[in-house]
Structure 1
Amino acid sequence: MKEIIAIIRPNKMTQTKDVLNALGFPAMTAQRVMGRGKQKAIIGEVSFDIQNETLLKEEGTMRYIPKRLISLIVPDEDVSLIVEAIMRVNQTGQNGDGKLFVCPIDEAVRVRTNERGTKALV
């Protein structure tokens, strides 16, 4: 099993969720996060007026950019399929498209039934 962690643009969340659902992977954890890449800011990335000093660095730039973090656990044989699907939906060729991380998972346990391994995923 592997954990796929995807950091994506907020406006790509619905489309990403729909594609994963269509591929048979509806289960995920998603959260709103703030961060930035090496570019430090993306002009036009947010469509609201920012007044929070933790977000503003100086005129025209931001310390952090709103993103979405998705985490899902998949069987080893499905990793390539899921990574490619997430990339296909989120790749614009512009700074800020996001990052994907694939991490090993040693064990999964469904609390309710004590099912283990891939049985705990479905």
Structure 2
Amino acid sequence: MKEVMAVIRMNMMNKTKEALSNAGFSSFTATGRVLGRGKGLVDYRMMKGAEEGVPEALASLGEGPRMIPKRIITLVVPEEKARLAADTIISVNKTGKPGDGKIFILPVLDAMRVRTGETGLKIL
């Protein structure tokens, strides 16, 4: 089993949920608003969102690097489906601009369903 963890833009959540569902990944967890930034130095004053008056973009104006609101999606899938999940997320979130996000694929040793005590792949 693999855990696919994706950090995406806030405004891409609905499109990402729909794409994952259409690709056969109906079960996942999303974390509300998280803050982060990549290693690149981006001039946030030039963000298109700031020009359009988006509150999150306006809040990032100022000197130096700022933390940007993001969402985190995690899903646990059979190992052979991890790449499909990642590719699905990329297909929706890739704009070619800084801030598109990151995807991490991690090993999962086991999983348990609390209600029944079942373990392993059968709970996916």
After TM superposition, the score normalised by the length of structure 2 is: 0.84
Structure whose residues are more often helix by fraction: 2
CA distance in 2, matches of 1:110, 1:99: 28
Three-state SS of the structure 1 residue aligned to 2:85 is helix
CA distance in 2, matches of 1:77, 1:45: 37
1:87 aligns with 2:98: no
Tell me if structure 2 keeps the 8 A contact 1:40–1:63.
no
Partner of 1:66: 69
CA distance in 2, matches of 1:81, 1:103: 14
Three-state SS of the structure 2 residue aligned to 1:119 is helix
- Deviating beyond 6 angstroms after TM superposition, the runs of 4 or more aligned structure 1 residues are none
Partner of 1:14: 14
CA distance in 1, matches of 2:103, 2:6: 5
CA distance in 1, matches of 2:18, 2:64: 32
AA in 1 matched with 2:122: K
AA in 2 matched with 1:108: A
Partner of 2:37: 36
CA drift at 1:106: 0.2
Partner of 2:80: 77
Q: Percent identity?
A: 45
CA drift at 1:92: 0.5
Q: Deviations over 1:68-95 (max 9, x none)?
A: 1001000011111111111111111000
1:23 aligns with 2:23: yes
RMSD: 1.8
Unaligned runs of 5+ in 1: 51-55
CA drift at 1:99: 0.3
After TM superposition, the score normalised by the length of structure 1 is: 0.85
Residues matched between the structures, number: 115
